[in-house]
Amino acid sequence: MVDASEHRALGIKTYNRCWELLEMESRTRDEDLELLRTAFASRYHWFYAGGPEQFAIGDWMISRAAAASNEPALSVEFALLANDAAHNFDAPEWLVASCAEGLARAYAALGDGDERQRWYDRAQQLVTEIKDREDRELIAEQLSSVPDVVR
The pTM of this model reads 0.96
**Which pLDDT score, from 0 to 100, does residue 151 have?**
55
CA distance 61 to 109: 15
CA dihedral 5→6→9→14, nearest 10 degrees, is -140
DSSP 88-138: TTT--HHHHHHHHHHHHHHHHHHT-HHHHHHHHHHHHHHHHT--SHHHHHH
The secondary structure of residue 66, as a DSSP letter, is H
Tell me the mean pLDDT in the region 87-97.
97
Look at residue 57 and tell me whether its pLDDT is greater than 70.
yes
Mean pLDDT over the full length of the chain: 97
Domain ranges of the chain: 4-144
Cβ burial of 141 (10 Å; 0-12, 13-18, 19+) is exposed
Residue 77 confidence (pLDDT): 98
Answer yes or no: is pLDDT of 46 > 80: yes
CB under 8 Å to 129, separation ≥6 — which residues? 93, 97
Distance CA 96, CA 87 (A): 7
Question: Over the stretch 26-43, which tens digit does the pLDDT of each residue have?
Answer: 999 999 999 999 999 999
Q: What is the mean pLDDT of residues 4-22?
A: 97
Of the pLDDT bands very low, low, confident and very high (cuts 50, 70, 90), residue 1 is confident
The domain defined by 4-144 carries CATH number 1.10.3720.10:
no
- Does residue 150 have a pLDDT over 60? no
Nearest one of 72, 84, 94 to 147, comparing CA atoms: 72
